Structure 1
Amino acid sequence: MPAGDAINASRAFSREMEAVIAHTRATPRGTPALETKRGQYAGETPQLRTLLWRRSREGGLVCSAIVPPGMGASATRAFSCAGDVGGRRALLACSAVALGLLGHRLACAWATRRRLSLLSGAYSKRAVLITGCDTGLGFSLALRAHDLGLWVFATCLRGEGAGARRLREMSPRMQVLQMDVTDGQSVFAARDSVVRQLKRNNLELGALVNNAAVMVFGEFEWQTERLIKFQTDVNLLGTFRVTKAFCPELRKSKGRIITVSSHCAQATLPGLAVYGATKAGIEAWSDGLRMELQKYGINVITVLPGSFSQRSNIGGQQGEFAAEMRAAMNQEQKDFYGEYFERYQKYLAAVFSGRASTLEALQDPHLYRAFEEALLSQNPRAKYEAPATFRYNLYHFLFKWSPTTKVHDWLVEKFVQLPKWKVK
């Protein structure tokens, strides 16, 4: 709803309430009356979808089903009270609810306009660098930042892969670079290329988005040393390398560092002990780094994307990882874990088989809103969390406030629903 229409709606709504109160006072006690009125505010949208009020034989007033325009059924409230004083209080309560909801709508509209105004101002000459843009979340964020009108440096592990080729098709504002976050030379080569392009196009680096990550699902004993190092090197040390390389540019522009974290940093799940440890390390590092860099004008922000793993490609290599774990097991481990390991990996294969195509942008407006706030807000918070499903949020709330370890572990098992170990 446009801001002007919303303000007019609020004023008209207040006038409707005043008219109802005046009519109530003028109606003699004991006279039953029933009126239905539909009002409109300036414009075409109905001001009140239904305004039903009744003066009862006892002189009471019933005001029900008052729904401000655009607010839906959630705004419906019913009040029943006896006497004129109770009626006025009910009407004032109705007005407060409606005005509060309209105020929320205005605040959301103002926040959207503020982000757009930033894009049309100084931010039009600020670029954003996003790591891990081959697929999934990084690919989606690169497209979103480009759609916002920003210059984007999208780094991909496979410089000639399908994701990199698709991104190159966008426009000259989308620059795709090959970069391996585990290789220092590759990181510095990408940095030098970015610096040259910033100078050539009279830009400055406004934000670095540390998104590159890998996740290996499997119990700790199953994971090979290579897989453990791989997750640590990409998720933790890779983030360190990239951030350190681009700190000088971010100091010049007083930009921001946005790092994608995970709920596993706060409540690590079974099968993700190594992955959770890397994400917990990222959060601890971000907390310290934020306090170190704020005096230089650099904001350090973490974003928790919520429950998107089944809609992204982060589990796309799970089959390869399972084969590596299986091949590395000795005979004793194969005899002990054998059937359980196979059920476990079969379950994961089914979970990740429904993931989005590697070149499909994620369809999650809540995720993009959190990303945009972290990227464009003039006074960003230290942490943004994209809303997840009710089940996901409920369980993570219960994890946090579990009274005992046993209750916590039972809840985690109910949440993850991994195959059960059968005692031999």
Structure 2
Amino acid sequence: MPPAQKNELIVVSGASTGIGAATALKLASMGYHVLAGVRTDSEADAIRTENIDPVTLDITVPEHVEALAQRITDDRERRPLRALVNNAGIEINAPVEVLPLPLWREQFETNLFGHIAVIQRLLPSLRQSRGRIVNISSVGGEAALPLFGAYAGTKSALEAASDSLRREVTRQGIQVVVVQPGGVKTDMAAHSGGISLELAAGMSTEHQRLYSDLIETTVATNTAFLERAVTAEKAGEKIAEVTTTARPRTRYTLGKDAAFVIPLARHLPDRLMDRILAVSHRSRK
């Protein structure tokens, strides 16, 4: 039998592929009406199905964010906004010294400031419904691998902002939850290694000498790990559960690697953690 309609809206950003698409589809199958953020007409056509209403949403474009807020306010069935799942993101990895500043800024604009813009604009609707914000972070938010400085930096900042936001809005009836995935089989993850190697090919001779072995080893390690990583579908099921469970925790890990690495990063001395990660990468080259 089809699921009972929940008569509530849930926004999922970055819903064209991967974790976002899987989350949107799972929530729709549970009876929620999902406003699925996509960037192109072809992406909208691919995700459109029962209970999924694609919306054009580049979270770095103020006009898109405003249109999303207006869509919720003008909902013909006057459905409340049950939750906002901030999933959109990009990943461009290279050594801190090598990654150009425009690429640092691009990642922070999407992975942090874009989410803040959406949160700020949708908080009135979430306050009215006593809804929930689910921020998709990363294991890198607490344990940053080499090359992941910019990406992990955005996730660490998102986690800090989430903690502050949670303490600001709890009394307003709004819940704030962080999900920390480890490796997940997605297009973004699959392409990130190739992007790193392309950036490495354009490095100076001196940077090649300093970093080429590290880049090759890290890309090879991560590529091998992704073959055994959690599928996007499994990740989407977990995020949908977190989004709708009655009494959520403030944080959830996603995947065995995140469940293992994050406690280590919290409790081990930094130098010991450095050695563990270095040995892990050398052993998988």
Do both share a fold (TM > 0.5)? Answer: yes
Cα-to-partner distance string for 1:105-136 (whole Å, 9 max, x where unaligned): xxxxxxxxxxxxxx85xx81111000001111
Alignment RMSD, CA only?
Answer: 2.9
Tell me, yes or no, if structure 1 residue 307 matches structure 2 residue 183: yes
Deviation at 1:382, TM superposition (A): 1.6
* 2:28 is the counterpart of 1:146: yes
Structure 1 residue 227, shift from structure 2 partner: 1.4
Provide the rounded CA distance (Å) in 2 between the counterparts of 1:381 and 1:345.
Answer: 33
Residue equivalent to 1:398: 264
In 1, the alpha carbon distance for the partners of 2:138 and 2:68 equals 26
The aligned amino acid for 2:207 is: Q
In structure 2, relative to structure 1, the CA distance for the partners of 1:193 and 1:347 (3 Å cut) is same
Farther-moved stretch of structure 1 (251-260 vs 410-419) = 410-419
- Map 1:307-346 to 2 at 5 A: 307-308=183-184, 311-318=185-192, 319-320=194-195, 322-324=197-199, 326-327=201-202, 329-334=203-208, 336-337=209-210, 339-340=212-213, 343-344=216-217
**Would you say the 8 A contact 2:12–2:20 is kept in 1?**
yes
More contact order relative to length (CA 8 Å, sep ≥ 6): 2
User: Residues 339 and 247 (structure 1 numbering): CA distance in 2 closer, same or farther, change over 3 Å?
Assistant: closer
Q: Which residue of 1 aligns with 2:8?
A: 126
Q: 2:41 aligns with which of 160, 174, 177?
A: 160
Kept in 2, the 8 Å contact 1:216–1:315? The answer is no
Structure 2 Cα separation of the partners of residues 185 and 378 of structure 1: 33
Matched, 1:191 2:69: yes
The equivalences for 1:368-379 within 5 A come to 368=236, 370-379=238-247
2:78 aligned partner: 202
CA distance in 2, matches of 1:229, 1:374: 30
1:362 aligns with 2:232: yes
1:293 maps to 169
CA distance in 2, matches of 1:410, 1:290: 34
* Corresponding letter in the other structure for 2:270: T
Structure 2 distance, partners of 1:248, 1:190, is 13
Look up the equivalent residue of 1:192 and give its one-letter code: Q
Letter in 2 for 1:383: R
Give the secondary structure class of the aligned counterpart of 2:182: coil
The answer on whether the counterparts of 2:179 and 2:251 sit within 8 Å (CA) in structure 1 is yes
C-alpha spacing 1:280/1:247, structure 2 compared with 1 (3 Å):
same
Give CA-to-partner distance per residue, 1:162-192, whole Å, 9 cap, x none. x432211x12x21001111112222212322
User: Cα deviations across residues 184-239 of structure 1 (Å, max 9, x unaligned)?
Assistant: 2222123223332x2x1221111000001112222111211121111111111111
2:125 to 226, 241, 249: 249
Give the letter aligned to residue 12 of structure 2. Answer: I
Q: For the residues of structure 1 that align with 2:92 and 2:127, how far apart are their CA atoms?
A: 35
Distance 1:416 1:211 in 2: 28
Are the equivalent residues in 1 in contact too, given 2:82–2:131 (CA < 8 A)?
A: yes
Secondary structure of 2:78's aligned partner: coil
- The gaps in structure 1 that reach 5 residues or longer are 1-118
User: Aligned with 1:314: secondary structure?
Assistant: helix
Aligned to 2:58: 180
Deviations 1:26-79 (A, max 9, x none): xxxxxxxxxxxxxxxxxxxxxxxxxxxxxxxxxxxxxxxxxxxxxxxxxxxxxx
- Aligned partner of 1:16 in structure 2 is none
What residue in structure 2 maps to residue 114 of structure 1?
none
Deviation per CA, 1:291-337: give whole Å up to 9, x if none: 111122111111123332xx11222443345434543x345434x34
For the residues of structure 1 that align with 2:227 and 2:29, how far apart are their CA atoms? Answer: 27
Question: Is there any run of 5+ residues in structure 2 with no aligned partner, and where?
Answer: none
2:6 is paired with a residue whose SS is helix
Q: How far did residue 258 of structure 1 move?
A: 0.8
Instruction: Tell me if the contact between 2:196 and 2:219 (Cα under 8 Å) persists in the aligned partners.
Output: no
C-alpha distance in structure 2 between counterparts of 1:399 and 1:351, whole Å: 22
Q: Is the 8 A contact 2:83 2:126 kept in 1?
A: yes
Q: Secondary structure at the match of 2:188?
A: coil
Q: Is the CA contact (8 Å cut-off) linking 1:259 and 1:301 kept in structure 2?
A: yes
Cα distance in 2 for partners of 1:298, 1:160 equals 33
Match of 1:265 in 2: 141
Aligned length: 281
Structure 1 residue 368 displacement after superposition: 4.8
Contact 1:322–1:345 (Cα < 8 Å) also in 2? no
Cα distance, 1:376 vs structure 2: 1.8
Deviations 1:261-306 (A, max 9, x none): 1121111111111111111111111111111111221111111233
Mapped to 2, the partners of 1:156 and 1:351 lie a distance apart of: 29
Contact 2:180–2:258 (CA under 8 A) maintained in structure 1: no
Q: Distance in 1 between matches of 2:273 and 2:211?
A: 28
Identity %: 25
